[in-house]
Chain A
């Protein structure tokens, strides 16, 4: 029997991002989330007869910012098209989108090449309304047009991803980048960030692309990874048993983790695109591009590189801070406080702080000031307090704020230094209390150090430095 073929997943993502403008893409209705149905509509976004779209300048501005952040080419002249299909959430019977000339082409984020970025309008929300009493036996739905017409940027990647985990990680980088430039809330649960995946397999070493399927409705990072993993497994099984992969769209069910094909119709993909005659072409002028560029902050990937390069942080730590801009900002202010803390130590202690604050919390809105944090870290680095005491001080800072020096004094958490006779006395007491352990250490079994150090730590309430205790034990045992 021949060895089974090894397959490699080839994954591309299509991401829809709701832009954080005040008003919709083509009308002046305010964007909303969670408001009562149909409270944000007008003749335009209801598709009333005779109405015409007018492009929101801010959406174009955000679109250009995204393009610049992803290193895309901004089209000197782009055009909107009509994408025709019937669905109740589409009031005009067509979606205004971009087709052959998108606003942005090419680019790269991290290891993934960007194919294009274009602007379009979001569909309305179709909610299932159950069986109607009024109309016998029929399942009813209702359309709420509040979301209809929200500006969207659609970002399409090249098929450069090779695993579910890589896809998830890259999407995190994209989200961080979009959040940092401030163009979107990028919240997957609320739908302001939506991600579809194109998945195909090919034999390892082959450069040809296999038949791909499109995965939809993976509305969290976890589901994205789950969905892709399930699809890679499904396709692997198909191919190994000699069956072909069908080109189709699959719907991810978060409850069961399974994928079901969407009903396909024979004309499913005949969108009959043609240039939108109600809109004139979009020319991205040098002024528009400069204005967008001027608003771009340092991008997360650049910041991570700077943290790792100039500040010498481990790559993983650098990304953790850079990919959550609020952490990166806090870290940088603390660093600038010049309290004498090393960048690496500050970065390590940021982790402790984040744990204490809880997931997703912004340290800037806590009681801990970057200055207090920086001086705490400096105290630990200078061995003015022990690491354990440092953790305790952080807890107190989170609870009540204030100055770490004052807290250390008040709580008596200052380190017992080696020159302090009292530490020698405690070490002597430890040796006396556990002569067996002392004997073992003397005869070279360093494992027996544990109970002795533990004794001293207990007696000093953690204020003594571990290295110092170690040194004193050896000294007193004559090693």
Chain B
């Protein structure tokens, strides 16, 4: 029975519960036990039991969800991967987590992440790195690495992540699962411990595209607590498309050419996936995003600048770590923050503070905002000629632990293909499209703002045609 439960996708499990074939309590206990036996360091906290029973007839039927640590959950540790928030239990719950609970997805546990979502490998967590279930010597990607690893290894049916410059899509790609970053504003950010406010978006990490659609359906919507949230023009539908006749897929030369440093195995899988799409009726066209090569630079100004302000509240006064509280105020601030933040967070705070400082604002922040405008315009232009943009999600497959942790810039280059969509605020999904040397490769599809349903449909059609098999990670397991 247990191994049968593991084979069910979240949507299948919800259907089975509704049909009376399995019991929600049993399913919760099954995943709770797996999460508690986690050998990947994917979880930072696991629930004892479902906090509340799923309401009768709830669409998600009691299928539990793993939640990235940075979502505030009342009374439950919410540390955003940081020492400075060690043991912090907020007095309120993030909107998205509340919505999922109301729809019948109780909290299974909190997942490990790069500190304050800053990282592409999950090595920047104060609570230790997460291991990739496909190869435990490798990183699962980041910053939502714990969520990605947990789903890939069957420690959770599905999970919540957040994506600022690729933090859902890239770990989904590295872990052989589906990750969707919705249109900016689709999901409320209320209760998400902020990294970069104008870029952060919550999204699902799931085994397949159908699960991603189902979870997203119950996350989205305007929230009075988040001024930047909005109502999607239509409800998220479950995908069903089987062919791609008339669909134009654009391959941007700037992101897939030599500049991106795409390795050959990734390129081979990417091209095979395009061939499959073509076989389904799609046309593959070259398109151009002239400013995309500059997206990374703009991103690494805007995101750290916003982060430098967002992280100023961690000052040892109201919550979290305090160091040197018996000295003068400024020493208390500086030591608390020096000891509470990890190296990457400090680096970005420094970078962002510098970019906003007197005399440099226009040269850095102002310029980056203008590049951001150009990038949005590039996408608008591109979408007048093609329906979706396709790229590899990341230029490489999962790399070995420690391989890039001493070269920040090399680490940043991982986000080369995912950052432009973040800057433009448009939806993008990563689906597994094959293996390279036994490691998963991700295919990224991006569409215009609010095109989630169409995007999910296309992703679904390609997913069905590719028939990617995630069972090696599932059975290798992360559970003891």
Asked if the two chains touch in their complex, CB atoms less than 8 Å apart, one says yes
Judging by beta carbons under 8 Å apart, are B326 and A138 in contact? yes
State which residues 186-232 of B face A: CB under 8 Å: 189-194, 196-198, 224-228
Chain A residues with CB below 8 A from B196, complex form:
277
CA distance A11 to B438 in the complex (A): 75
Chain B residues with CB below 8 A from A143, complex form:
317
CA distance A273 to B327 in the complex (A): 29
Which of B47-55, B263-271, B307-315 is the interface stretch? Answer: B307-315
Chain B residues with CB below 8 A from A277, complex form:
196-198, 228, 306
CA distance A324 to B70 in the complex (A): 54
Beyond A135-B325, A272-B309, A278-B228, 7 extra complex contacts between A and B, CB < 8 Å: A48-B91, A49-B72, A84-B312, A86-B315, A86-B330, A91-B313, A92-B312
B381 CB–A CB distance under 8 Å:
no
CA distance A47 to B316 in the complex (A): 12
State which residues 37-86 of A face B: CB under 8 Å: 43, 46-55, 82, 84, 86
Q: Report the minimal beta-carbon distance from B202 to chain A, rounded to whole angstroms.
A: 11
Judging by beta carbons under 8 Å apart, are B227 and A54 in contact? yes
A93 CB–B CB distance under 8 Å:
yes
CA distance A143 to B315 in the complex (A): 13
Pick the contact of A272: B311, B315, B353 (CB < 8 A): B353
Which of B127-135, B356-364, B389-397 is the interface stretch? Answer: B356-364
Chain A residues with CB below 8 A from B311, complex form:
93
Interface size of B in residues (CB-CB distance below 8 Å): 49
Judging by beta carbons under 8 Å apart, are B318 and A50 in contact? no
Q: Report the minimal beta-carbon distance from B24 to chain A, rounded to whole angstroms.
A: 28
Q: Nearest residue in A to B229 (C-beta to C-beta)?
A: A52
State which residues 231-280 of A face B: CB under 8 Å: 269-270, 272-274, 277-280
Q: Nearest residue in B to A94 (C-beta to C-beta)?
A: B309
A51-B190, A88-B317, A270-B358 given; A93·B309 CB < 8 A? yes
Q: Report the minimal beta-carbon distance from A275 to chain B, rounded to whole angstroms.
A: 8
B329 CB–A CB distance under 8 Å:
yes
Q: Nearest residue in B to A47 (C-beta to C-beta)?
A: B313
Identify the 3 closest CB pairs spanning chains A and B, nearest first. A93-B312, A277-B197, A277-B198
Q: Report the minimal beta-carbon distance from A184 to chain B, rounded to whole angstroms.
A: 25
A interface vs B, CB < 8 Å?
43, 46-55, 82, 84, 86, 88, 91-94, 135-136, 138, 143, 269-270, 272-274, 277-280
Chain A residues with CB below 8 A from B78, complex form:
49-50
Judging by beta carbons under 8 Å apart, are B357 and A270 in contact? yes
Judging by beta carbons under 8 Å apart, are B365 and A274 in contact? yes
CA distance A55 to B227 in the complex (A): 8
Q: Nearest residue in A to B305 (C-beta to C-beta)?
A: A274
Judging by beta carbons under 8 Å apart, are A84 and B309 in contact? yes
CA distance A86 to B262 in the complex (A): 43
CA distance A95 to B228 in the complex (A): 19
Pick the contact of B326: A46, A136, A272, A274 (CB < 8 A): A136
Q: Report the minimal beta-carbon distance from A87 to chain B, rounded to whole angstroms.
A: 9
Give the interface centre of A48, A54, A82, A143 by most chain B CB atoms within 10 Å.
A48
Judging by beta carbons under 8 Å apart, are A82 and B309 in contact? yes
CA distance A143 to B314 in the complex (A): 16
Judging by beta carbons under 8 Å apart, are B227 and A278 in contact? yes
Q: Report the minimal beta-carbon distance from A282 to chain B, rounded to whole angstroms.
A: 10
CA distance A157 to B308 in the complex (A): 33
Pick the contact of B312: A52, A88, A94, A273 (CB < 8 A): A94
Q: Nearest residue in A to B84 (C-beta to C-beta)?
A: A49
CA distance A277 to B314 in the complex (A): 19
CA distance A49 to B191 in the complex (A): 7
Q: Nearest residue in B to A55 (C-beta to C-beta)?
A: B227
Chain A residues with CB below 8 A from B330, complex form:
86
Pick the contact of B327: A55, A138, A274, A279 (CB < 8 A): A138
Q: Nearest residue in B to A86 (C-beta to C-beta)?
A: B333
Q: Report the minimal beta-carbon distance from B336 to chain A, rounded to whole angstroms.
A: 11
A49-B72, A50-B191 given; A43·B90 CB < 8 A? yes
Chain A residues with CB below 8 A from B305, complex form:
274
Q: Nearest residue in B to A279 (C-beta to C-beta)?
A: B227
Q: Report the minimal beta-carbon distance from A376 to chain B, rounded to whole angstroms.
A: 57
Give the interface centre of A82, A135, A143, A277 by most chain B CB atoms within 10 Å.
A277
